[in-house]
Structure 1
Amino acid sequence: MKQVHFFALKDDLLPVLEAVERDIPIKYILMGQFPTMEFETLAMEGKFPVLGNQPLDRLPAVDHFLSLAATFRLR
């Protein structure tokens, strides 16, 4: 699986994500190790509550999201 890691500020990132989602609906799945196979899925409407607002002391533990086409079924 191809991964692209990048740094962007919220004011830079939101317009790009919104432009992409006008053509391709996307869902964002919180990545990590969890006790169940239930996945927390976010849509852009939620605006990611902590996007661009990460305290410096928590940077090593920032949330990572898998971005998929909204129609893709994760198993």
Structure 2
Amino acid sequence: MEAANTSQKPASPNSPNGCWDRHGYRVERIDQAMGAPTRNIYGPDGTLVLEDTDYDEEMAYCREHGLLLPSED
């Protein structure tokens, strides 16, 4: 039996996941019986910074807190 490939493509640097990884935030994914899972985001010190969040809220937080990399225009 062949082993499953568990390697994942790294997150885009300016996606929420890229920002969280780069700055030491922790993402808690919460599965739901119906619908998409929700996410709670914890800061590097362990405090809850976003609860039951979505992509737009996460991007806004990254922008407001300077977590995005400068664009390469």
TM-score (norm: length of structure 1): 0.28
Structure with the higher fraction of residues in strand conformation:
2
Larger-Rg structure = 2
TM-score by length of 2: 0.28
